[in-house]
């Protein structure tokens, strides 16, 4: 409750004090012996005035309490949305294997029964004359055969060197060199094979020499040469000067 004002509080206290004083005076007067009352005096009269207490102040209604503060809700934590779930890939339709064609049965060949041929009359065979055996060739002297081989090798070398063509790369690089080759030649003059014995050190020169050998036509062997394939070694020189 709110405290009373200071003026209102002092008034009841003063009233109570006055009542107490008046009661004390009455008691004292009653207890005193009676004195002769003089004739000429009027009797004293003590008046006691009873005052009604002031009305009690109306209680002041208490002020309404302020409403309790609303609870502050903590902010909700930011939860990122879940990542989208990727859709499973659509199944690739597997092509059905084509049915294998059923081979049609081949028609069986129709066998026509022909009449058996009549036997031909047997002709009397006349004996053929037997050709005489050719005489064996006489062996060629070694010196003659060696001279024939050297002459053939010279013709082979001249033919290959004449068919040799200088590539443009060799001309641009100003290359030069000698390539040694081994040629395998049959008695008919056919080239059976060729290989490099010693390289010139420049692959373009070696390739040009091999190409010249494969492009050359060689003559058949002479009568004084052996009747089996031979190997001829030649040196092909290539210059750009």
CA 3 to the chain's CA centroid: 89
181 is a domain residue: yes
Domain of residue 193: give its range: 142-238
The domain total for the chain is 1
Low-confidence ranges of the chain (pLDDT < 50): 1-2, 4
Tokens of 234: 């030649």
Establish how many alpha carbons lie within 13 A of residue 3's alpha carbon, considering only the half-sphere containing its beta carbon: 4
pTM of the model: 0.41
**Per-residue pLDDT tens for 3-62?**
545 555 566 677 777 788 777 787 776 666 655 555 555 555 555 555 555 667 777 777
Tokens of 88: 């499973």
Q: Strands 191-198, 230-238: parallel, antiparallel or unpaired by DSSP?
A: unpaired
91 is a domain residue: no
190 is a domain residue: yes
Per the DSSP assignment, residues forming a β-bridge with 196 are 181
Burial of 234 (0-12, 13-18, 19+ CB in 10 A): buried
Tokens of 37: 């009352």
What is the rounded distance in angstroms from the CA atom of residue 201 to the CA atom of residue 178? 9
pLDDT at 230: 92
* DSSP element (H, E) containing 182: strand 177-185
Classified as helix, coil or strand, 38 is coil
191 is a domain residue: yes
Classified as helix, coil or strand, 202 is coil
189 is a domain residue: yes
179 is a domain residue: yes
């Amino acid at each position: 409750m709110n405290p009373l004002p200071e003026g209102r509080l002092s008034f009841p206290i003063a009233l109570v004090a006055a009542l107490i004083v008046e009661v004390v005076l009455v008691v004292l007067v009653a207890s005193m012996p009676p004195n002769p009352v003089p004739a000429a005096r009027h009797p004293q009269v003590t008046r006691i005035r009873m005052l009604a207490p002031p009305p009690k102040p109306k209680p002041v209604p208490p002020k309404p309490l302020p409403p309790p503060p609303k609870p502050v809700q903590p902010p909700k934590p930011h939860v990122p949305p879940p990542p989208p779930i990727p859709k499973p890939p659509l199944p690739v339709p597997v092509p059905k294997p084509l049915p294998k064609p059923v081979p049609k049965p081949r028609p069986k060949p129709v066998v026509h029964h022909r009449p058996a041929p009549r036997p031909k009359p047997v002709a009397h065979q006349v004996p053929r004359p037997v050709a005489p055996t050719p005489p064996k060739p006489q062996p060629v002297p070694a010196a003659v055969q060696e001279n024939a081989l050297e002459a053939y090798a010279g013709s082979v070398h001249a033919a290959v060197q004449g068919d040799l063509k200088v590539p443009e790369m060799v001309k641009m690089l100003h290359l030069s060199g000698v390539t040694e080759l081994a040629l395998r030649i049959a008695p008919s003059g056919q080239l059976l094979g060729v290989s490099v014995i010693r390289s010139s050190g420049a692959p373009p020169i070696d390739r040009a020499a091999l190409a010249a050998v494969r492009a050359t036509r060689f003559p058949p062997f002479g009568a004084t040469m052996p009747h089996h394939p031979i190997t001829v070694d030649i040196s092909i020189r290539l210059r750009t000067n």
